[in-house]
Structure formats: C-alpha cells, structure tokens
C-alpha cells in the first residue's frame, strides 16, 4: 500500500498539473513576502533587513560572507546594510580570532529588541499561512519541498 509520503515517480506527474502547482507555490510565496513586507513597515524594515536580523538572531557571530550567503544577497549589499545597522546601534562587529580578515557580526541589545519584534510579525504571517494545513500536511509539504530542492540542485549541477 502506498503511503502519502512515499516518493512519486516522475513519469506519474502531469506537466500541466506540475505547472499549476508551481504557479500556486509562486503565488503563495509572493503573497507571503508582500504580506510580510507590509507588516514590517511600522518597524521601518525591508525584507532584506528583516532577513539579516532573523539570521543574526538565530546564529550570533556570523561573518558578512556567511550572512550574504544565508540571505541570498550580494556581499556588497549586505556590507552597506551592516554599516548602517552598526551606525544605528543594532549590530556590533568584532574581528574573528581565527581569521583576522573576517568580522563577526552580533546583534546589540537594541538589535535584539527589533529582531524580536520582526520575528513576532514573521510568526504571525507564517502561522496564518500554515493554518490552511494540519501538522501532518505541513510535515508532508516540508518533506516534498526538501525533495524538490534536492532535485533542482541536481538538475542545476548536472
């Protein structure tokens, strides 16, 4: 008996259904980012600024290179943002003990407060979106998206 989480053979996938599903995922992603962007406006944050704060909240002492990789943004754009955040007292920089060329970035107490406010907004948006699913369905979506990501990486790298 086939279990819902079992991989689906690619020859069972209709290109038309695949395209419609992809469009639904893109539409949801676009709506999610638009909603998040609108909800972040009172904090004066862009989506990239939000992403930087969230990454520093999850992992203190990131380098600019690590941060730009995690935010899918050019290192130069992150560099300008980091300089502004540092001037605003949201982050601090210190030299890495293992690589004197690298700066380690951390949130200041002021930055932690703003990051927490942004995280609360993100949680509200994500929770509203997730309410369309049961926990089991969310686990299945997560698993399928991880599988799709792996397949796309393989295709990209082939």
DSSP annotation of 62 reads E
Above 50 in pLDDT, residue 1?
A: no
Sequence spans of domains, the chain:
24-131
Give mean pLDDT, residues 113-121: 98
Helix, strand, or coil (residue 63): strand
Give mean pLDDT, residues 53-64: 92
Please tell me the pTM assigned to this model.
Answer: 0.83
CATH fold of 24-131 reads Arc Repressor Mutant, subunit A (1.10.10)
Residue whose pair of structure tokens reads 């890495």 in the numeric block? 96
In the chain, the DSSP E strands lie at 62-63, 91-95, 103-107
Kindly report, residue by residue over 76-109, the tens digit of the pLDDT.
788 899 999 999 999 999 998 888 888 899 999 9
44 CB burial (10 A radius; 0-12, 13-18, 19+): exposed
Q: What is the mean pLDDT of the chain?
A: 91
Kindly report, residue by residue over 3-48, the tens digit of the pLDDT.
555 555 556 889 999 999 999 999 999 999 999 999 999 999 999 9
Q: What local confidence, expressed as pLDDT, does residue 40 receive? A: 98
């Amino acid at each position: 008996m086939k279990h819902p989480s079992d991989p689906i053979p690619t020859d069972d996938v209709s290109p038309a259904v695949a395209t419609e599903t992809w469009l639904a995922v893109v539409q949801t992603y676009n709506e999610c980012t638009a909603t998040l962007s609108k909800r972040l406006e009172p904090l004066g944050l862009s989506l990239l600024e939000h992403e930087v704060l969230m990454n520093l909240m999850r992992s203190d002492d990131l380098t600019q290179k690590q941060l730009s990789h995690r935010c899918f943004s050019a290192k130069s754009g992150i560099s300008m943002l980091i300089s502004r955040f540092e001037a605003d007292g949201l982050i601090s920089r210190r030299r890495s003990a293992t690589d004197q060329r690298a700066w380690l970035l951390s949130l200041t107490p002021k930055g932690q407060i703003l990051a927490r406010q942004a995280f609360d907004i993100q949680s509200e948006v994500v929770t509203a979106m997730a309410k369309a699913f049961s926990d089991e369905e969310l686990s299945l979506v997560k698993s399928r998206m991880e599988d799709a990501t792996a397949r796309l990486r393989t295709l990209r790298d082939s």
